[in-house]
Amino acid sequence: MKKIKILIPVYNDWQSLSQLLKNIDSEIVNVDHEISIVIVDDASTFDRQIEINDLLNISSIKILVMKENRGHARCIATGLKYIFEKEAFDYIIPMDGDGEDRPEEIIDLITQMNNSNDRSIVGERVRRSEDLIFKFCYFLHKIITLVFTGHSIKFGNFTCLSKDTVEKLVNEKSTWNSFSGSLKKIEKDLIKIPSIRGTRYFGPSKMSFYNLIKHSLSIISVFRVTFLIRSAIFVITYILLIKSYASIITALPLIFLLIAVYSVSNLALRENMEEFDKALSNISDIESIK
């Protein structure tokens, strides 16, 4: 029997989390492993209300209460570090707490885990639930990431991480900045399974256009050396191509690229191993609610 920790970062979205826990509990009824939940409360400002009375199959639930809001990626990084240093586990499954990572796919991850030979598994998005404009922007994000970094990253937080992978992640400074970028950087042989992006249980999606841009640039910043080299090649090639047709319009791609270079350079400063090493000091309380 394996010990599996499901890691869920939450900021104020307690109603969705309660529904998620119920759905997880019903999905794992026939799972022959010990399933526990670790919730990272990112300094929520709403009163916590979680219904746990009917949860029969989840072994335990802990809440790590953060002193200061650090954002989604750093909540995951803190949770990984806490579990790795303080808990007995074989695998960790990070997932969003709003229903967009579908609890029924936990079974798919566990089934693959049983035959994975300790390799980590990622859920590659094959379908999303957002509108067409967002889907198009997300498609552009994947293309731009591939072109400028050489890496195709089609997964998010919803993964199944072996202990060996978790150890690498907590010793990699880019984890403090981008989870998916860091995972792609440290693991070259990930198992991939199809995953459908679900819809939020309550309220609108928090993945706005601005957050998508920041998410994309954060991933690119993990591979910033490759990005800068390819950007330089693009600039030189583009200038040679348009030198006879120079104008404000033809200069727009160069302007956007320079803005991207500046943004990526700033985001790369978030990779702070000293802060990551001290991540657990931002936990004000640890509550065992089941």
- pLDDT tens sequence across 246-265: 788 888 888 999 999 999 99
Average pLDDT over residues 196-222: 81
* CB contact at 8 A, 66 and 11: no
Q: What is the pLDDT of residue 142?
A: 83
Q: What is the pLDDT of residue 286?
A: 96
d(CA 135, CA 95): 21
d(CA 10, CA 8): 6
How much of the chain, in percent, has pLDDT values that exceed 70?
96
Average pLDDT over residues 182-209: 86
pLDDT exceeds cutoff 70 at 209: no
* CB contact at 8 A, 64 and 81: no
Average pLDDT over residues 186-202: 90
d(CA 267, CA 262): 9
d(CA 272, CA 80): 16
Average pLDDT over residues 200-208: 75
The whole-model pTM stands at 0.90
Structure tokens at 209: 């256009």
Name every residue whose Cβ is closer than 8 Å to that of residue 186 and which is 6 or more positions away in sequence. 165, 168, 169, 172
- Alpha helices per DSSP H over 58-191: 72-86, 106-113, 132-149, 163-170, 179-186
Q: What is the pLDDT of residue 233?
A: 93
Q: What is the pLDDT of residue 206?
A: 66
Average pLDDT over residues 225-231: 94
Give the model confidence (pLDDT) of 45-88 as tens digits: 988 888 778 899 999 999 999 999 999 999 999 999 999 999 99
Give the model confidence (pLDDT) of 149-166 as tens digits: 988 888 989 999 999 999
Q: What is the pLDDT of residue 198?
A: 85
pLDDT exceeds cutoff 80 at 134: no
How much of the chain, in percent, has pLDDT values that exceed 90?
64
d(CA 175, CA 94): 13
Confidence of residue 213 (pLDDT cuts 50, 70, 90): confident
Of 184, 179, 224, the C-alpha closest to 76 is 179
Query: Which class does domain 3-128+154-204+271-281 fall in?
Result: alpha beta
